[in-house]
């Protein structure tokens, strides 16, 4: 049911080993053969590459594994479910501009009811171009951002973070909702029921400057790594490889559709 991979670091890094291992989970090491996508920040903006083909068969993805150097990455391999259509429009990550920032989003799980909720909401800031519940959920979260997040997100936890946690928990009430999201500065990770993180600190530069980074993945990518599973309903926000906010959500068993409106 799709898989996610992300990294936040305080310095651009090459993550060819981990990224290539994740690539193989797109139809070879795991049953996610229905497309892949990679978003990485370069010179202050996101670049996105994706194809509706198995990741492990992609020459482009293999090349990007060795050439990508970035401090902020979100990747996805897809197992088509809702809908089963395999095309570019339904391939993650998705990208939008909202509140003066560039956002990317990728999702694991199923929340099909969010489609009808969004269709009836007249969301003014985001209209899906594909048919996935994932993209509709992304637009739903951006609707919360546009209405409730006063000012741009900052490094310190504040009302924007709390509102995002609330919206994430409400969407999670509709099914399974694990996601990675970024505004170009933060790596936002929500683990409803299936997500892990690995935090690292070391001297990564020639002058001995400490290098902080975090890897987030659906399943641990290193057998010997000390990966930690997210608690159910845990939202974590990283900036430059450091944790800046953490909140727990409690998805409702029977959500009120009116509460899901931005």
Domain ranges for the chain, please list them. 3-260
Short-list 54, 58, 127, CA closest to 89: 127
Q: What is the pLDDT of residues 202-251, one digit of tens each?
A: 755 555 566 899 999 999 997 767 899 999 999 999 999 999 999 999 76
Measured between its terminal Cα atoms, the distance across the chain in Å is 27
**Residues 92 and 108 sit within 8 Å (Cβ to Cβ):** no
Mean pLDDT over each residue of the chain, to the nearest integer: 89
The whole-number average pLDDT for the span 96-110 is 94
* Pick from 39-48, 144-153, 180-189, 214-223: least confident: 144-153
The confidence score (pLDDT) of residue 158 equals: 59
pTM score: 0.91
pLDDT at res. 254:
47
Which CATH superfamily does the domain covering 3-260 fall into? Answer: Aminohydrolase, N-terminal nucleophile (Ntn) domain (3.60.20.10)
């Amino acid at each position: 049911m799709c898989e996610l991979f992300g990294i936040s670091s305080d310095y651009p890094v090459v993550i060819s080993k981990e990224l290539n291992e994740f690539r193989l989970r797109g139809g070879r090491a795991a049953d996610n053969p229905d497309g892949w996508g990679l978003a990485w920040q370069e010179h202050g903006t996101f670049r996105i590459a994706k194809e509706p083909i198995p990741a492990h068969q992609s020459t482009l993805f293999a090349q990007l594994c060795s050439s990508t150097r970035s401090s902020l990455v979100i990747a996805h391999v897809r197992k088509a479910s809702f809908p089963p259509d395999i095309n570019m429009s339904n391939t993650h990550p998705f990208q939008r501009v909202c509140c003066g920032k560039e956002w990317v989003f990728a999702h694991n799980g199923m929340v099909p009811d969010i489609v009808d909720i969004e269709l009836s909401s007249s969301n003014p800031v985001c209209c899906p171009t594909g048919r996935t519940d994932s993209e509709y959920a992304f637009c739903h979260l951006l609707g919360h951002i546009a209405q409730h997040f006063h000012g741009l997100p900052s490094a310190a936890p504040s009302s924007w973070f709390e509102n995002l946690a609330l919206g994430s928990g409400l969407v999670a009430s509709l099914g399974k909702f694990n996601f990675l999201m970024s505004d170009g500065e933060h790596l936002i990770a929500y683990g409803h029921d299936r997500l892990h993180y690995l935090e690292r600190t070391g001297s990564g530069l020639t002058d001995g400057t400490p290098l902080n980074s975090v890897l987030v993945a659906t399943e641990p990518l290193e057998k010997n790594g000390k990966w930690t599973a997210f608690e159910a309903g845990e939202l974590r926000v990283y900036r430059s490889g450091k944790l800046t906010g953490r909140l727990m959500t409690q998805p409702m068993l029977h959500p009120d559709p009116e509460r899901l409106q931005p």
